[in-house]
Amino acid sequence: MDQREIDEIAAWLEQEKISSEQNGVQESVTSSDFDKFLAERAAAAENLPDAPTTVPGQNTATPGQTPRHRQIKKEDQDSMFAL
């Protein structure tokens, strides 16, 4: 995310804060609005540069092994969508 996007988000949040303070009502978000937000974030994530695969000084897993913290996160995600 570049500085321009951060500034736009900050301006939008400030505008929303002022608007909600004036109205005294918190606006709800529909599921279609949230889906649109998620799609925009996914599209933005595709434009990000690749992160380095290893960090100096950290142990790396052998090929074919998934680090334990990633297994835990995957299990959490699986249970979250198990409805």
Please give the average per-residue pLDDT across 3-21, as a whole number: 89
d(CA 39, CA 33): 10
* Structural contact between residues 10 and 18, judged by C-beta atoms closer than 8 angstroms: no
Q: Which residue has the tokens 């606006």?
A: 27
pLDDT interval class at 69 (50, 70, 90): low
- Does the global pTM surpass 0.85? no
- How many residues are listed for the chain in this entry? 83
* Structural contact between residues 28 and 34, judged by C-beta atoms closer than 8 angstroms: no
By 3-state DSSP, what share of the chain in percent is helix, strand and coil, each rounded to 5?
60, 0, 40
Considering the chain, what is the average pLDDT of its residues?
Answer: 75
